[in-house]
Amino acid sequence: MIDHKIEKLLLKVQKPGRYVGGELNSVIKNKKDIEVRFAFCFPDIYEVGMSHLGMKILYSQLNEVPYVWCERVFAPWADMEEQMRQNHIPLYALESGDSLADFDIIGFTLQYEMSYTNLLNMLDMAGVPLKSSDRRSLSQLVVAGGPCACNPEPLADFVDLFFIGEGEEVDCEVVELYRDFKRKNGTKEDFLAAAAQISGVYVPSLYDVTYKEDGTIDTFQPRGNAPAVIHKRVMMDLDKSYFPDRFVVPYIEIVHDRAVSEVLRGCIRGCRFCQAGFIYRPFREKSIDAIDRQCRDLCENTGYDEISLSSLSTSDYSKINDLLDRLMAWTEDRKTGISLPSLRVDGFSNELMKKIKAIRRSGLTFAPEAGTQRLRDVINKNVTEEELLKTVNTAFGGGWTTIKLYFMIGLPTETLQDVEGIADLAQKVVDAYYNHPNKPRGKSVKVSISASSFVPKPFTPFQWEPQDTIETIHAKQRHLLSSIHSKKIEPSWHEADTSFMEAVFARGDRRLGAVLLEAHRRGMKMDGWQDFFSLQKWLEVFASCGIDPAFYANRKRSFDEHLPWDHIDYGVKKSFLMEECKRAYANKTTPNCREACSACGASCLKGGICVESR
Ligand code: SF4
């Protein structure tokens, strides 16, 4: 559906395949039959967005509704944006080629705080007014969901309505309400007031905020009938929740180019830094029958020869060996690979290793997260050095020679000894290889250590914690480098500058809207990409707005501070998060949900492991 004008531009840009649409399984509908046009926008480039499972689910689900046409929109890379702006071509949806401005609902998925400038830029590229208050009619309704929506406040000026929690049901309810209002020529104002009554919907314009002199929030008040607390939506029975039997198959290589089956949602663990581990509670599993059927359908309808069993921690699937047996019964003959992207150190048994060996030979990745047992106890990463060494020994005995270990720098209570502990642990893994009686002959070992910077996130026990300053992180990175004495260890890290800005927006309030607007005015975008991110430019923007970013990133917050996301409820009680924070400082661990229920509050959602464990 791409017109001639766009075709000509494609000769001038890298990877034209990002911009043409027409892929296998993309959905084309007749506009005459459609009452609600929904643009599903991913605020990053095609290759990233097309790899995202949530987008695949909601795209297919919305398109199953006869009166809805859901199309995909991605952020163009700078070369294409330049061409589009020069030639006055608005940002368009890949299915119809129509401008984003022509849509009833413009929906964004928020996966990463550093994509917020892209959200503004994408609206701007189609001439859609950025501020919610400047979009008066019911059309061009901007909605957003995804994990970052758990603190929607930095985007409160721009987004009309947020989905809190899992989108499968609430998306369709809002679309239906929208259709009713469109049919009767209802106003945007009335629609938003009605939508706010749907559970899991947050309409930021219906709330007033006041601030204290010290800059913290004083009051946060709903207006009219808007609920004081917005409770998240959750799909309790994963077997019954919608899952597509086909994905759009891209022409160009994307980040994760394979069939994906979501085997479980939530996590039984309670790693204290991990937002996903709390906001997706409770832990729920899909049945083997459902996973098997979905994998078969997907492979049949896409031609993919690799299936990824996706989740926060796939080795926590209670019947993982049975599941792999069931899948391997047909995938082996078809030469279809299975990948398990998220394995836990303590979930890597001999039996699982043998199965993985049969289906995959690439490197293994584990996440001890901290270098010393003390710090692993602080963050509640219930993994011991013995377990890690046992696991890598199992792997080396099975022929693996490449191990990747994920760590974090800047965790609460961290000392330089903990940083050295990262290098020590990696060295022990190298030594384990050379001491292994059955190590692969004539091969050397490679241990990659990736050290990201800790970013305190809402809805975690560390939501009150300060982030280390950039200077401290740099000093710790240098200390880590000087503690590594083996060429077999390859360190890498995320830029501390980006993590700082991520921390600002993760725990920001709605005053950051002015900052985002100014950043956009200065042409800032693609901040998740090192080619574009500039701390200097961000600091200039903050200075021009009279806002100190350290107030959001580096300040320790007190337990009685009104947090910008306190009106959002993900099931887990704030008092539980406080207790967990105190336990962290006391080096006390908390059992996982399978060992014992710690009464976090998520049982109020009445399902998953909370009910099963009783
Ligand atoms: S209520 Fe208990 S079982 Fe349920 S998520 Fe919380 S700690 Fe886990």
CA distance 26 to 72: 9
Strands laid side by side in the 337-339 sheet: 259-262, 306-310, 337-339
Residue 266 near ligand 1, beta carbon < 6 Å = no
| pLDDT attached to residue 79 | 96
User: What phi and psi, each to the nearest 5 degrees, are found at residue 279?
Assistant: -75, -20
| pLDDT attached to residue 362 | 64
Q: Taking residues 155-177, what's their average pLDDT?
A: 96
- Joined together, the tokens standing for residue 537 give 């430019």
Q: From ligand 1's centre to the CA of 308, what distance in Å?
A: 27
Which amino acid residue places its CA nearest to atom 6 of ligand 1? 600
CA of 597, closest atom in ligand 1: 2
Q: What is the mean pLDDT of the chain?
A: 93
Q: Taking residues 141-154, what's their average pLDDT?
A: 97
Q: Taking residues 333-360, what's their average pLDDT?
A: 73
CA of 598, closest atom in ligand 1: 7
Residue 230 has pLDDT above 90, yes or no: yes
> At 342, is the pLDDT very low, low, confident or very high (cuts 50, 70, 90)?
low
Residue 441 has pLDDT above 80, yes or no: no
| pLDDT attached to residue 496 | 94
CA of 609, closest atom in ligand 1: 3
Tokens 């391997």 -> residue: 328
**Per-residue pLDDT tens for 519-550?**
999 999 999 999 999 999 999 999 999 999 99
> At 358, is the pLDDT very low, low, confident or very high (cuts 50, 70, 90)?
low
**4-231 adopts what CATH topology?**
Rossmann fold (3.40.50)
Residue 236 near ligand 1, beta carbon < 6 Å = no
| pLDDT attached to residue 365 | 84
Top-confidence residue, 339 or 231: 231
Which amino acid residue places its CA nearest to atom 5 of ligand 1? 282
Residue 205 has pLDDT above 60, yes or no: yes
| Residues, the chain | 614
Pocket test for ligand 1, best of 380, 598, 606, 614 (most atoms within 8 A of CB): 598
Residue 609 near ligand 1, beta carbon < 6 Å = yes
CB neighbourhood size of 577 (10 A) = 22
Pocket test for ligand 1, best of 609, 613, 614 (most atoms within 8 A of CB): 609
Calculate the alpha carbon distances from 341 to 294, 356, 367, 424, 448 in Å.
18, 11, 12, 25, 16
Concatenating the DSSP letter of every residue in 214-275 gives TSSEEEEEE-TT--SSEEPB----TTTS---S---B-SS--SS-SEEEE-EES-S---TT-H
Residue % of the chain over a pLDDT of 90:
78
> At 304, is the pLDDT very low, low, confident or very high (cuts 50, 70, 90)?
confident
Residue 115 has pLDDT above 60, yes or no: yes
Domain 259-494+571-585 has CATH 3.40.1050.10: no
CA of 266, closest atom in ligand 1: 5
Q: From ligand 1's centre to the CA of 508, what distance in Å?
A: 28
**Per-residue pLDDT tens for 549-593?**
999 999 999 999 999 999 999 999 999 999 999 999 999 999 999
User: So where are the chain's domains?
Assistant: 4-231, 259-494+571-585
**Per-residue pLDDT tens for 458-476?**
999 999 999 999 999 999 9
Which amino acid residue places its CA nearest to atom 3 of ligand 1? 610
Q: Taking residues 1-17, what's their average pLDDT?
A: 85
User: CB burial class (10 A; 0-12, 13-18, 19+) of residue 4?
Assistant: exposed
Residue 265 near ligand 1, beta carbon < 6 Å = no
**Per-residue pLDDT tens for 362-399?**
678 888 999 999 999 999 998 899 999 998 888 888 88
